[in-house]
A and B are shown apart, each in its own frame.
Chain A
Amino acid sequence: MNSLVEPRKWEKFFWPVLACVLFLALWHYLVIWSATKVFPSPLAVEKGIAELARKSLLWRYIGDSLRRVALGYGAAVVLGIPVGLTLGWYPAANQVVNPVFQMLRPISPIAWIPVSIILFGVGDTTAVFLIFLCAFFPIVVACVDGVSGVPAMYRQAGRNFGLSPVQLLSKVVFPAALPQIIIGLRIALGIAWLVVVAAEMIAVDSGLGYLVIDARNSGKRYDLVVAAMLMIGIIGLALDLLFRRLRNIRSVRWGFRHGT
């Protein structure tokens, strides 16, 4: 395939599907060739998923994981965007807060689990808090970078037309920073989906992360472990694909010239 040629419609679906089929085939034959007693074949996993669906655990667990992400990520968006815009708007405030942020940011959300359990006990709140933490910082940083990266020309033009500071923020700085903010939101959602699994392994007794650890602990059901892993992957992909559609909104598309 020539990379300069726009892929044809059927090719957009054909190649990914082919890659999936090859991956499943490879997995299937590797299980047979290696004669493993532990790792399940794709067919065993499919049966595992069917079993989960029959016990109506599948949708419940997916629903629980998505709900926790929605709450924690939602809170991070609602708080992170205003905080990030403010810090970007007042560079002096950012200079004060930035060292603390940069120090907190590299701490893995997993490291927060003990603290979070002390604060919120074992349960949903802990999981939601961890997701909030891991999503909050990337969102704030994306907003700060987005706002401080707005070309001075746009701000000058805004001031020239007599905009008040609030109007300047809402009509110039925010839309100019929006593509950058969307990138941050997408990264944060990816991290949130990683962290919900980890949080559920420790803090709660439902959700896909719990399924992974529970299936292993109660009877070494590796078919269910891999089934949960597969669901985590598929849902993560679906969330990302949904998010990518945001880039097609016409008022932000200019910021994604070399889109993939």
Chain B
Amino acid sequence: MSLSPSPETKLTAERIGMVFKRDGNSTNVLRDINLTVGRGEFLCVLGPSGCGKSTLLNTMAGFLSPTSGEIRIDGEAVRGPDPRRIFVFQERGVFPWLTVEGNIGFGLFKLSRAEREQRIAHYVQLVGLEGFQKAYPAELSGGMKQRLEVARALAVNPDMLFLDEPFGALDSITRLTMRRELLRIWEAEKNTIIFVTHDIDEAVQLADRVAVMSDRPATIQQIVEIDIAHPRDIGSARYLELRHGIFDQLGLAHKV
């Protein structure tokens, strides 16, 4: 791997290892993770619960430093969180003491008032929260809160988004709508997205590539390219083939 990455490379992870020490025991969470993410790519990190995929995402976002190895974004080593790359939690990450407008404008404190208001209006519309500008998160549904958090992240114009099982707490119908919304926004905004999920269908529906992770200590087992154009037909032969492939990769049976 060359030190000056090609302009198409957004993020590189080199030999990432993570060991957590607690009460004298050390747990090997990540082992020798190597990954390259392209600019504007939608990458899903897929793995069983507790495998360490969230830990990997947290190291990429700069909230945790890996025990070994290095993560570089745009050729620069990651030293901490940065407003150019926003982490999106499950919908509980919105600030309950701020209105919809207040949440979306949260990261825009450096802008002038007029600019801020214009930016807020734009993202309120983009995520379909018109009419709820003055509402507080407690008055919104789970799906609306999740859209609000995405809007708060997008409002600062990040070139990267890290999403940590963002739709995990939503019901299955809302989850499908949210996936479509996210793809629509991604196509409009062209950010690089790293999306952590344990849902195989979600990964195959959304991603350009799926990084399948093993159990702890997590390594990347395989990277699956999803070569289906959007909008994807989830009944198509290719979709089912890719989905089955990942099932096998994870060592799961096809019958319940």
The reply on B33 being an interface residue by CB < 8 A is no
Contact B86 A161 (CB under 8 A): yes
Residues of B within 8 A of A151 (CB): 92
Determine if A253 and B138 form an interchain contact, defined as CB atoms under 8 angstroms apart: yes
Considering the complex, which residues of chain B in the window 71-112 have a beta carbon less than 8 Å from any beta carbon of chain A?
80-83, 85-87, 89, 92-93, 95-98, 106-107, 109
Q: Which residues of B have CB within 8 Å of A160?
A: 61, 81-83, 85-87
Most A-side CB within 10 Å, residue of B96, B109, B137: B96
Do the beta carbons of B95 and A172 come within 8 Å of each other? yes
Interface residues on A, range: 20 to 34
Q: Which of B80, B97, B109, B138 contacts A175 (CB 8 A)?
A: B97
Name which residue of chain B comes closest to A251, CB basis.
Answer: B97
> Contacts A162-B82, A176-B97 known; A156 to B136 CB distance under 8 Å?
no
Tally inter-chain residue pairs, CB-CB below 8 A: 53
Cβ 8 A contact of B138, one of A153, A171, A176, A254 = A254
Please name all residues of chain B whose beta carbon is closer than 8 Å to the beta carbon of A162 when the two chains form the complex: 82-83, 107
Q: Is B63 an interface residue when CB atoms closer than 8 A count as contact?
A: yes
Cα distance, A151 to B93, chains bound together (Å) = 9
B63 pairs with A156, CB closer than 8 A: yes
- Is B89 within 8 A of A153, CB to CB? yes
A254 and B97 form a contact (CB under 8 A): yes
Cβ-defined contact, B61 with A154, below 8 A: no
Residue in chain B with minimal CB distance to A151: B92
Minimum distance in angstroms from A171 CB to a CB of chain B: 8
With a cutoff of 8 Å between Cβ atoms, the chain A residues found around residue B97 in the complex are 175-176, 178, 251-252, 254
- Nearest CB of chain B from residue A51's CB, rounded to whole Å: 50
Chain B residues near A254: list those with CB within 8 A.
96-97, 136-138
Q: Report if A245 contacts B (CB, 8 A).
A: no
Does the CB pair B136–A253 fall under 8 Å? yes
Q: Residues 238-260 of chain A: 1 if any B CB is under 8 Å from the residue's CB, otherwise 0?
A: 00000000000011111101000
Query: Is the pair B136, A161 in contact by a Cβ cutoff of 8 Å?
Result: no
Looking at A154, A161, A254, which has the most chain B CB atoms within 10 Å of its CB? A161
Q: Is the CB of B136 within 8 A of A157?
A: no
B13 contacts the other chain (Cβ, under 8 Å)?
A: no
Please give me the residue from chain A that is nearest to B110 by CB atom.
A162
- A67 in the interface, Cβ–Cβ < 8 Å? no
User: What is the CB-to-nearest-CB distance from B146 to chain A, in angstroms, rounded to a whole number?
Assistant: 14
Whether A251 and B98, one on each chain, are in contact in the complex, defined by CB atoms closer than 8 angstroms, is: yes
Q: Is A98 an interface residue (CB 8 A)?
A: no
Are A153's CB and B92's CB within 8 A?
yes
Selected from B61, B96, B137, B156, the residue in CB contact (under 8 A) with A161 is B156
- With A and B bound together, what is the CA distance between A48 and B106 in angstroms? 58
Q: Distance in Å from the Cβ of A161 to the closest Cβ of chain B?
A: 4
B89 surroundings in chain A (CB, below 8 A): 153, 157
Contact pattern, B 1-35, Cβ under 8 Å of A = 1, otherwise 0: 00000000000000000000000000000000000
Choose among A159, A161, A255, A257 the residue that contacts B106 (Cβ–Cβ < 8 A).
A161
In the complex, which residues of chain B have a beta carbon less than 8 angstroms from the beta carbon of A250?
136
| A159→B81 CA distance, assembly (Å) | 7
Name which of A154, A172, A178 has the most chain B CB atoms within 10 A of its CB.
A154
Complex: chain A residue closest to B86, CB-CB: A160
Chain A residues near B109 (CB-CB < 8 A): 167
CB pair B86 A156 closer than 8 Å: no
| Given A159-B80, A159-B81, A178-B97: 16 more A-B contacts, CB < 8 Å | A153-B92, A154-B95, A156-B87, A157-B87, A157-B89, A157-B93, A160-B81, A160-B86, A162-B82, A162-B83, A171-B106, A172-B95, A175-B95, A176-B95, A251-B97, A254-B96
- Residue contacts A-B, CB under 8 angstroms, 22 given: A151-B92, A157-B87, A157-B89, A157-B93, A159-B80, A160-B86, A161-B106, A162-B82, A167-B109, A172-B95, A175-B97, A175-B98, A176-B95, A176-B97, A251-B97, A251-B98, A253-B136, A254-B96, A254-B97, A254-B137, A254-B138, A255-B96
